[in-house]
Amino acid sequence: MRGVKSIERPLFFLLVAVILTLSVFPVVYAFFTSLKPGKELFVLPPRILPKEWTLEPYRYVFQHGEYLRYFLNSVVIAGGTTIVCLVLASLAGYGFSRFWIPAKRAILTIILLLQMFPGVVLLTPYYRLAQDLHIYDTYLILILIDSGLVLPISIWLLKNFFDTVPASMEESAMVDGSTRLQALVYVVAPLVRPGLVAMTIMAFLTSWNEFMFALILTSSPNVSPVTYGLAQLFGPYNIQRNIVMAITMLSVFPLILIFVFLQRHLVRGIMGGSGK
Amino acid sequence: MFVLPAVVFLVCVVLYPLLQIFPWSLDTWSAETHSFVFVGLQEFRRLLAEPEFWHSIKITFFFTGLVVAGHLVIAWVLAEVLNSKLWPGHRLRNLVRSLLLLPWIFSVSAAALIWGALYHPIGYLSYYASHLLGVSSVGFLSNPDLTLFSVVFVILWKFYPLYMLMILGGLESLPEEVYEAARVDGVSWRQSFFQITIPLMRSLTLTVVLIDFITTFIHFDLVWIMTKGGPVNSTYLVSFYLYERGLQTSSFGYASAIGVFVALLFGILMYAYIVAFYRREA
């Protein structure tokens, strides 16, 4: 290597190792703790690896319906939010990209500002709204709010993707007799798939991990998402730590799967786009 | 036509509720009639006269300053490492980048539980820290002098990936030729960092600081799960004040007044940011 001293690279990798340890250690610790039997939790000095590996904590979680219910709630809320955002943001992103709209720049700027607006300020209005409309402690209120959180950035993201597709694509489809909506779904949407995938991931991730509004607007285990259920477990005198870590790992597992999936998809999308 | 559903949705679900706090802040909530009663600026006067509110503001500024500074340093160091020429190939670099994004996909609850276990009085960190320092117990989340720093560390860990990616995106788009030219001219690494990189990255860095400041200043969830503001109010952020004194006591007028206060602060910051940008453009 030109310009690289022999000492530089070992030092560099030492730095990388330190950084990786700091950022990944908590996750590794949580993972191995979730594989420990209960009797190993208070062994001193504390160890990272289990002496005796067990799936007992995970079995405990699956045998207790209350935890599974939280997961079901999260699936409904995150799934609902993702669908709402996918439909509304696709239409809006396409509209903003293709049509003349009065005060378009102003509207887009306001949408961007909404994205940046501090969520805490919305606590009071949402609390009142939920009570006035009698939708406190329902899936509906959380799906609405989470969609409101993700929609602005989704519209921007998809608008930018639609901008890269030439209008001639759907025009030729429309000459062949399809409506604009059909052209959007069957011709344009496949071309912006990386954008749609990225948006889907973002919507799912945000709503799956949302906690603050769930804390304030739900109160029953029949509706509350898994973030709420997890927060109930925080504290020194709660259920055993290996079980807590098992639930924690289970709550992150879908996201890790999606994340691995996403990176591959994004790369493929970019490669496909540049190959044309 | 196509944009209408989303715009209507945003107006109904975000904009309209948001704007309501302004009229509400001039009201007080009457528990008997279940309605708002106009009281003018009374709730603001009550708010500004409350020492606990100013305490929470002070804590929040300190907390935010630590987090923003910490994120900036971490994001820059990690972005420079990922952007380094010392990587033998893209494959390894991309793997490390993916691993560094890991904290990002953890929910605040999951992060709180993991760090709660690490900080636990008989947990991993406490054990080694107390042995290292020769004290019986460190009390990461029970010592009022320490707890704020403990939670700041968790916040730094949980939220750095976004800022790292932003800075990395900026570094990757810097013009390679300028550095080549500087190297040919015998400019040292340090000089090129301060004379080329920093000036080129100034507006992006400003954006990172702004976004981080806004999100951290009104941060609620992670610290709430871990401390509820304690011990002895040492981590009592302004959002906790809004939640406990406004919402939990059903003082919706008061809570709206706090909301307006935060919104005004947000407005001033945005304005300063835009002015700073336009001045450079002009």
Q: What is the ipTM of this complex?
A: 0.88
Cut 0.80: pTM above it: yes
Answer yes or no: is pLDDT of B274 > 90: no
In chain B, domain spans: 40-281
A189-231 pLDDT per residue, tens: 998 888 898 888 889 989 999 999 999 999 888 999 999 999 9
- Residue B236, SS3? coil
Q: Do B2 and A259 touch (CB under 8 A)?
A: no
Q: Do B21 and A263 touch (CB under 8 A)?
A: no
Cis peptide upstream of residue B231 (ω within 30 degrees of 0):
yes
Q: 49-68 in B: which are within 8 Å (CB) of A?
A: none
Q: What is the pLDDT of residue A1?
A: 41
Rounded Cα distance, A2 and B203, in Å: 33
Q: What is the pLDDT of residue A236?
A: 59
Q: Do A144 and B84 touch (CB under 8 A)?
A: no
Answer yes or no: is pLDDT of B127 > 60: yes
Residue B82's CB: how many other CB atoms inside 10 A?
21
Q: What is the pLDDT of residue A67?
A: 86
How large a percentage of chain B has pLDDT more than 90? Answer: 48
Name the phi and psi angles at B37, rounded to 5: -120, 130
* B218 in contact with A, Cβ within 8 Å: yes
Name the phi and psi angles at B81, rounded to 5: -65, -45
Answer yes or no: is pLDDT of B121 > 90: no
pLDDT band at B120 (very low <50, low <70, confident <90, very high): confident
* B96 in contact with A, Cβ within 8 Å: yes
Q: What is the pLDDT of residue A167?
A: 87
- Encoded tokens for B61: 């500024």
Q: What is the pLDDT of residue A269?
A: 42
Q: Closest chain B residue to A215 measured between Cα atoms?
A: B221
Q: What is the pLDDT of residue B169?
A: 86
Which is higher by pLDDT, A178 or A144?
Answer: A144
Secondary structure in 3-state letters for chain A: CCCCCCCHHHHHHHHHHHHHHHHHHHHHHHHHHCCCCHHHCCCCCCCCCCCCCCCHHHHHHHHCHHHHHHHHHHHHHHHHHHHHHHHHHHHHHHHHHHCCCCCHHHHHHHHHHHHHCCHHHHHHHHHHHHHHCCCCCCHHHHHHHHHHHHHHHHHHHHHHHHHCCCCHHHHHHHHCCCCHHHHHHHHHHHHCHHHHHHHHHHHHHHHHHCCHHHHHHCCCCCCCCHHHHHHHCCCCCCCCHHHHHHHHHHHHHHHHHHHHHHHHHHHHHHHHHHCC
Q: What is the pLDDT of residue A264?
A: 60
Q: What is the pLDDT of residue A59?
A: 92
Q: What is the average pLDDT value for chain A, to the nearest integer?
A: 86
pLDDT band at B280 (very low <50, low <70, confident <90, very high): low
Instruction: Name the residue among A95, A114, A120 with its Cβ closest to that of B1.
Output: A95
Residue A219 C-alpha, separation from nearest chain B C-alpha, in angstroms: 13
Residue B98 C-alpha, separation from nearest chain A C-alpha, in angstroms: 9
Q: What is the pLDDT of residue A209?
A: 92
Q: Do A208 and B107 touch (CB under 8 A)?
A: yes
B121 vs A contacts (CB less than 8 Å): 236
Residue B134 C-alpha, separation from nearest chain A C-alpha, in angstroms: 15
pLDDT band at A275 (very low <50, low <70, confident <90, very high): very low
A75-127 pLDDT per residue, tens: 999 999 999 999 999 999 999 999 999 889 899 989 988 888 778 889 999 99
Q: Do A107 and B106 touch (CB under 8 A)?
A: no
Mean pLDDT, residues A224-241 taken together:
82
Which residues, at least 6 apart from B247, have a Cβ–Cβ distance to it below 8 Å? A123, A124, A127, A216, B255
CA B49 from centre of chain: 27
| Structure letter (DSSP) for residue B246 | I
Q: Does domain B40-281 have CATH number 3.30.1370.100?
A: no
Burial track A234-245 (b if 16+ CB lie within 10 A, e otherwise):
beeeeeebbbbb
Q: What is the pLDDT of residue A237?
A: 56
Domains of chain A by start residue, with CATH: 66-232 (1.10.3720.10)
Q: Do A92 and B85 touch (CB under 8 A)?
A: no
The CA R_g of chain B, rounded to the nearest whole Å, is 23
